[in-house]
Amino acid sequence: MSDRTLATLNQADREEFVEHLGGVYEHSPWVAERAWDDRPFESVDDLHASMKRVVEDADRERRLELLRAHPDLGEQTEMTDASVEEQASAGLDQLTPEQYEAFQRLNERYRDAFGFPFIMAVRDESPDAIREAMEERVEHSRTEEFRTAIDEVHTIARLRLDERLDP
């Protein structure tokens, strides 16, 4: 939890607002920067809707950059604190060598197919459920999977907003 409330964010200048919410969309502070203009927000739902609108109004290339800012699932590389916590909640930090190899193969296959990493709101999911979703979604069309990945990013952002703001 945070000591920030929606009321304090509504009063924050752009720099403070972006400092607190710039990581809600992975390595994409531009989302918070643009959403700041929509203040005041009546609710976290209102804030999330504004941030979603910023993403949806961005051109395809900008949204692709947003997707590419996400880490591969199960990857043992440098990640944001939020990604580390989310992946740990799903047990992705404790994969067996066999599970790790399976995730690496699926990550590579997925990235080759779509040009961005597999994105899923993994909080409290199991490695098996995540792997099954990867196996299913790698068969999607490019258009369908781009939309699915953006929708997952929005779900992740909402979870992060709920963590960063006191009710």
154 annotated active-site? no
C-alpha span between 22 and 28 (Å, rounded) = 7
For residue range 7-66, what is the model confidence (pLDDT) as tens digits?
999 999 999 999 999 999 999 999 999 999 999 999 999 999 999 999 999 999 999 999
The size of the chain, in residues, is: 167
Q: Is the pLDDT of residue 79 over 70?
A: no
- pLDDT for residue 88: 66
- pLDDT for residue 94: 81
Closest by CA to 81, choosing from 41, 38, 27, 42, is: 27
- Read off the pLDDT band of 75 (50, 70, 90): low
Under CATH, which number does the domain 4-166 receive? 1.10.3330.10
- pLDDT for residue 1: 37
Task: Find residue 166's DSSP bridge partners.
Answer: 5
C-alpha span between 156 and 149 (Å, rounded) = 11
Active-site residue, from 48, 70, 140, 154: 70
Domain extent listing, the chain: 4-166
Q: Is the pLDDT of residue 76 over 60?
A: no
For residue range 88-127, what is the model confidence (pLDDT) as tens digits?
676 777 888 898 888 899 999 999 999 999 999 998 888 8
pTM as predicted: 0.89
Helix and strand element counts for the chain (H, E): 9, 2
